[in-house]
Each structure stands twice: as C-alpha cells, then as structure tokens.
A and B are shown apart, each in its own frame.
Chain A
C-alpha cells in the first residue's frame, strides 16, 4: 500500500487530463495524474490526427470555429514538435452543392477563421490525387497532430513542474466526508499495489468514462454519451494537406495526412460501452466510398489499419439523444457542489483535441474559483519541453535523421525509420512497458509490414536489455501481434492481404512462433 498526498488529483490521461495536469502544475499546485492504461489510449489516441483550422464549424458551430482557429495558432507554436502545419483544403465534390462554399466563406469571415478560395487548377496541381471533378476549393490552416506526442508533451511539462504521472493506475474508489472529496484510491495494475492519494480536489477528465468516475464519488449520473467513430489509415500520404468536403459536417468527409499515412474518417454511432468499440464492416465500406469521392482510385489504395474511438459528448437538449453528430463540441464543466452537494470535484465533458488547452484553462479556472484562489493560466505562453525552437514536425524528419546516423546505428523498424537507439532509450524510460506502450512513442510496427519484420527484433533487443525475462519477452511478442491484428482484420483486403500472407509465412512458416512455450496466463500489460 502506497500513500500520497497532493493538492489535486487529475483522473484521465487523454488530452483533457494531460492539459489539465499541466495547467494545475504550472499554477503551483502539487498534483498527480491517474490513468488506467497508457496515456492517450482513450479517445485521444483514436482520433483523426486533425488540428482543426475551425473551417469545419464555421457554419454549423461558430463558437467552436473561433476557438479552434485561436487554439490552432497557439498549439502550433507551443507544441510545435507534435504538429505538422500541413494546411488544408475544403473542396466541393462533384455532387455537392457549390453554394455551400459561399456560406463557408461568410462563416469563416464572421468567426475569424483564415480561409481563401483558390482555383481548382491550383488545388489539383498541389494535390495531384484529388478528384479532378471538384467544383471549388478553399484553403485553410488545418494541421495534423500526433495525439500521443501531444499528451506526453503536456505530461512532461507537468512533470517539469513537479507533477507525478501515474499510468496503468486504475481508480477504484473516491472517498468523501461531510460532502467533500478527501481521497482517491487506485491500483497500480503493473504490480497489483494499492495506492491511496489524499487530496483537496479531484478533476474528472475521464472522457467517455467520466460518468463512471463521477459515480464513484457518489454523484448523480453524468450523461456522457459515447459517440463511436471509426478511422482507416491508408498506407501512404495520398494527400499532403488535410482535405475536407465543403459540406455540412457528415461522415467520412475528412482525409488527414499524419506522419506517413493518410487517415479517412469518420462515422458517428451512439454506443453504450466505451470499452467495447467494434469496427463495423458497413462503416469500413462507408469510409472507402467516402474516400473515393475525394481521391478517385481510393479503393485500390492500400488500407493499413483501422480503429474505433468514442467521442465523449455531453447530452445536449438541442438534438435527439441518438443523433450524436450534431451535438455541440463545446465543453461543459459540471459543478458537483450545486448539482450533487459534493465539494472538491469538477467533471469536464465534451470538447475536442484542438481546444484541449483551452478546456484545461476553463476547468482549472473554475477550480481556482472554487478554492477562492487567484492563480493565472500561463499554458499558452510557455512552450512544451522539446518545442522551444518552435520548429514544426515535417514528414521528412525521420528520413533526415536516419541519413545522419544510418552508418552508426541499426534501423529496427524500417517502415517507420525507428533506430535501435530510439528503441533502447524509450525502453529505459519504461522498462515495464508493453511493445504497444513503446509503439505509441516510437511508431514501431505502424508501417506497411505492421510488425512483420520489426516485432521479433524488438523482442530480442528488449530481452538483451535485461529489464525483462524470457517469459515476459515471449508474452510481449504474442501480445503485440495479437493487438496489431485487432486493427488489421477489419480492413484486410488488396495489398494488405499480401502483407499478412508474407507476415504469416515468416512468423508461422519460418519462426513457428505459435509453438513457443505458452504462458499460463497471457501478458496483458
């Protein structure tokens, strides 16, 4: 049993929680962040990779549009390393209403979202794969962002200010006394140890799970509706800018280049359980059709991986409960004092990744107000560690890095140009990490071969490091291959079938990996 005492406990390690813990720490509070899995494994790790220019909302949700535009500029500066300033287009498809583009431009002007109409010829010259039959094109300042770099960046900033970041810690109980929160109980899942954290305040940033956390403190049900959406990553950058359909927001209307892939998304289906998100074949077909509108020949391109995430949307009286697409993206801070007679806890719901910093600012402001303290937010002023130079991510980075060190260091994940040193250094910071924990930092196994060549190498190197034994090493390999498959089989067709055939040939045919000694219980984390 471990005991801690801090001013503030932040629950939830997605963008909301990471942003909040950073702001809390920068304002001088002692704080701990609790996350039951790795950072960014909930909604944040499963999103589109889009840093909104605000364009998407200029007609449908003007408040959101303005916030996005402002925060886009701030984040591109302070979290420059995690963000690629790709730019974006809004294009009118051949069967879309060309008049919407006029509404778009008016809305952009009104909301302060930078937008400029360009000729279709220019758009096609810059993006040769775009549908040559598009009717209009508008240039905006969309960008793409690595969600895990984003949250770890914020978390590392918080750590620099004294915060403790506890991943793989699952909250089990929240103690209250006299209508006030007093402590949070959690279990360290990696070693089974219980931890009790005395605290003055709890900030519930658990996204789709926020309702479950609030209930632990005895609050009335909080209506956070999980809206499931799927994404499909295509094997290479079909476009180098974000490409949006210039229409009222719909399914599958955005294609985002993130690192070496381009991601088409998304759908929006109300579900009950955020821990059980299926990748429905019908939705996959829908995404491929949507892609075909933007990029003729999309279906002949290689689909690499798919996933499903759940948006945390607060129940909004303006729309029907089942229609989650049109809910406001605005954030809501739920004050449990007035609502539940419970002091010392705030729950935040809704919002989007692009405005995560602003969300955090709001909730921490609300907390300070509750505490009767005046401490101002500086998160927009200070760069995240690693982004001090203000230099944004470029897709060519790793190629350049490897050019410098290729003759001195081995490349372990060749698809994603991850060097041996990158791997061993990450391993040293997380000796108990799974290969997926490492993958989120390094992109190991995220390229065309999906771990076909690199997972055995990673296993061998991890074992050499002496942090793990042979049983765990073998178990981690099995877990990694199993987890990769989750995102492969729903989109398995064309070139990826060939890849899978070769990977099977290697793993089963040459390595006979399935006949390695099997553990009594599989390694899970």
Chain B
C-alpha cells in the first residue's frame, strides 16, 4: 500500500455520496448552473471536482481548484440524475484541508463565540467592524476581506429578551412549538427571532425556546467535521429537551438545512437524535405554507401595496420544497413579490468573507444586487442571515426576513 495515499473520511456517508457518482452521465447541467464557474476560470466546475475527480481520489484530493467551490449546493439541486455533487465536494475539501486548516477557517466557524463576545460591547464592536484601518489589519492577519459583510452586533441577545418579556396576553389554542433561532438569530438577527415568535403566538401557538447551541454549519463548511458533528448533536439534545413530539420552527434557513439533511449527507452523522430533529423541523415560511394548505392559516392580512424582490437562498432551495415564502407572501393583498431569478448571492456562508474569495463572491452576487436595486431600492426579502448581510452590503438595499412582512400584514408592527 502506497504511503502517499491517505484514508478517506471514515464514515458511511462518504461512501454514499461517492457511490452516487455512478449516476453522473456528464450532462453538464450542473456546470451551467454553478454560480462560481460562471464568474471565474479558476474553478473547474462541479462536474469536474465532483463526480469526475472522485473517480481519481484515493482518500486524497489533489485538485486544489476544489477550494473555489462555495458549497452553495446548486449543483446537487439541479442534477437530474441524483448525484450528490455538493456533498462530494464538501467531503473532498475536508480531506484536502485536514492537514493544513487555516486559523481563520477555525475562527470563522465560532459564531456562538463571536456572538457571546460581541453582544456586551455591541456599539464598540459595531464601530470596530466598520472601521477601515481595523478591517485592513483583520484582512492581513486573519484573511477576512476588509469589505466583507460582518454580522451586526446587538445590545441584547434573543435569549435575554425572551427571558425578560411578559407572557403573551391570550392563551395558546393550537398547541406548542419549539423555536430554534440559530446563532445569528440569537445574537445578531434578534429582531427576526422576535417577530417570528410573535407571529407564531398570534396564530395561537405556545412557543418554547430551550437553551440552544450552534448547529455547526459554519464549521462544517470549513471542513471541521469533528467539531461540527459534536455541535449539531449537542443542538439536537437541546431541542429534544423541549419535548419529543413537538414541531420545531426555525427562521434560520441554512441552519434548518443543516438539521434536515446536510449533517447527515455531508458529514455522515447517523444518529437517532439527528434523525428525530431533522424530521420535526420546519422553516417558518414552510410551516405557514403547510398551515395554509391545510386551510388553517388566517389570511386576514392588511394590504401592503408594494413590489418587493425576494431571493431564495441556496440552502433553502436545496431542501427541495420549492419557495414557500413566495406562496405565503402571495396571500398578502397588494404585495407583488418578484423572485430574484439569481442562483446565489455569493456569500455562501463564510466563503465570501475570505480575502481570496471575496471578488469571486461579489461577481457571483452581482446580478442579484442589480436586480434588487432595480426592483425596490428600499427593501428586499431573504430567508437566511448571511445572505441578507451580503445583499445589504453590496446593493445598499435593506434586506429583511420574509416573516417581517407577515408580521406587518398581521398588524403586529
């Protein structure tokens, strides 16, 4: 056995994704939809680094262009044959980076840590993150591009607000839901979390918010599979502690995806706890659509005369349920929702933060930024946090979670 080969990732999930390469008939559809291959010749495309290169891998990946894959998941989504292209790429990249993981990529995955540290000093942190010289130093030392969108530190965490708020006036009539806010929803996008639970309570649900950790997505997308697996299982314990048969609602689109399928398909986490949480979790817009399909969603919405652009994030699309937000928002009178038609905003979680990927990420998102500006320079809607920060930073258009519109239409804001 040659010394130059390394063992591959040691879990069955790797073999499953690898076995799916047999379904590839080289149709090139994935290549035509890949947002990164569209903007740079440095990335050889998903077909190349996925099912094609996988036949050459023996536990090691020597095609470094793989690093340009943003793991947006578009390739797997559009593949008509069922090749797990994005999963293969993520796994191969984890193997490739295993021996020389940059410090930056370790730090970038520590969303909870960042949140905990920044919240108490939010105004200062905010100022620092927008301070040019500080950002320039950050770029040189850590490798995060000086213009990359940063999470906005808030003065109060969602958990703290939840603990201090008075109980809702009306009693619950519909049952209990568990709310999963995710790190961003806990520390940075607190308003979105607040509005989410207010809508759910308005519908008559009792909402439980258990103490909860990080889903591990940022760690996973940087190839830190061990840490990410530990994080996601701990989160499953947190969410299961709230009650075993309850539906779990999340307003963090990408975290939902991590629990529904990514942790299993990319990292091979094969645990009853993950399976349980993965089948019970719903994205909040998905949940509202389900209610509507069952005839149980009140549609006494106020009229909102507005044309607003909506961008479906990659990690929402790859859950394979279409675009529930478009359906639900379509129920609000006067509101015209225009689908962005763009594949990806470019941020791909932490990809677009990195100094060597920043220009590519901006090029990827350019058609989206222009569409948003053209459609409504004052407001855009998108279901995941990092995408919202990217769109806002690069287009200048305020970007909210679709639940804000529902909240408004129910007269709650």
Question: A237, B25: Cβ atoms under 8 Å?
Answer: no
Interchain nearest-CB distance for B301 vs A (Å) = 46
A519 to B287 CA separation, bound complex (whole angstroms): 65
A241 contact from B1, B7, B54, B65, Cβ within 8 A: B1
Interchain nearest-CB distance for B13 vs A (Å) = 10
Closest to A403 in B: B63
Interchain nearest-CB distance for B37 vs A (Å) = 13
Interchain nearest-CB distance for A47 vs B (Å) = 21
Question: B2, A392: Cβ atoms under 8 Å?
Answer: yes
A204 to B291 CA separation, bound complex (whole angstroms): 82
Chain B residues whose CB sits within 8 angstroms of the CB of A111 once the complex forms = none
Question: A406, B44: Cβ atoms under 8 Å?
Answer: yes
Question: A394, B26: Cβ atoms under 8 Å?
Answer: no
A415 at the interface (CB under 8 A from B): yes
A414/B52 contact (C-beta < 8 A), A85-B1, A448-B26 known: yes
A236/B41 contact (C-beta < 8 A), A125-B10, A502-B27 known: no
Question: A237, B15: Cβ atoms under 8 Å?
Answer: no
A126 at the interface (CB under 8 A from B): yes
Chain B residues whose CB sits within 8 angstroms of the CB of A452 once the complex forms = 25-26
Q: Is the interface of A mostly helix, strand, loop or mixed?
A: loop
Question: B62, A235: Cβ atoms under 8 Å?
Answer: no
CB within 8 Å of B: which residues of A?
84-87, 125-126, 128-129, 235-237, 240-241, 260, 297, 300-302, 392, 394-400, 402-403, 406-407, 414-415, 417, 447-449, 452-453, 495, 498-499, 502
Closest to A407 in B: B41
Interchain nearest-CB distance for B88 vs A (Å) = 12
Interchain nearest-CB distance for B347 vs A (Å) = 26
Interchain nearest-CB distance for B370 vs A (Å) = 29
A448 to B18 CA separation, bound complex (whole angstroms): 14
B101 at the interface (CB under 8 A from A): no
Question: A394, B5: Cβ atoms under 8 Å?
Answer: yes
B81 at the interface (CB under 8 A from A): yes
Closest to A88 in B: B1
Return 19 A-B CB contacts under 8 Å, by A number: A128-B14, A128-B15, A235-B55, A236-B22, A236-B55, A240-B58, A260-B55, A300-B19, A301-B19, A302-B22, A394-B4, A395-B57, A417-B56, A448-B22, A448-B24, A449-B25, A452-B25, A498-B81, A502-B25
Closest to A495 in B: B22
Within 8 A of A (CB), among B1-55: 1-2, 4-5, 7-8, 10, 12, 14-15, 18-19, 21-27, 41, 44, 47-48, 52-55
Question: B25, A495: Cβ atoms under 8 Å?
Answer: yes
A236 to B60 CA separation, bound complex (whole angstroms): 15
Interchain nearest-CB distance for B327 vs A (Å) = 33
A93 to B25 CA separation, bound complex (whole angstroms): 33
Closest 3 CB pairs of A and B: A302-B22, A87-B1, A399-B56
A399/B62 contact (C-beta < 8 A), A260-B56, A415-B26 known: yes
Closest to A235 in B: B22
Question: A396, B25: Cβ atoms under 8 Å?
Answer: no
B25 contact from A300, A399, A402, A448, Cβ within 8 A: A448
Residues 52-80 of B, flagged 1 when their CB comes within 8 A of A and 0 if not, give: 11111111111111000000000000000
A84 to B21 CA separation, bound complex (whole angstroms): 23
A415 to B50 CA separation, bound complex (whole angstroms): 12
Chain A residues whose CB sits within 8 angstroms of the CB of B24 once the complex forms = 448
Interchain nearest-CB distance for A419 vs B (Å) = 13
Question: B63, A399: Cβ atoms under 8 Å?
Answer: yes
Question: A415, B62: Cβ atoms under 8 Å?
Answer: no
Chain B residues whose CB sits within 8 angstroms of the CB of A449 once the complex forms = 25-26
Interchain nearest-CB distance for B27 vs A (Å) = 6
Chain B residues whose CB sits within 8 angstroms of the CB of A236 once the complex forms = 18, 21-22, 54-55
Interchain nearest-CB distance for B139 vs A (Å) = 27
Chain B residues whose CB sits within 8 angstroms of the CB of A498 once the complex forms = 23, 25, 81
A448 to B53 CA separation, bound complex (whole angstroms): 12
Question: A396, B62: Cβ atoms under 8 Å?
Answer: yes
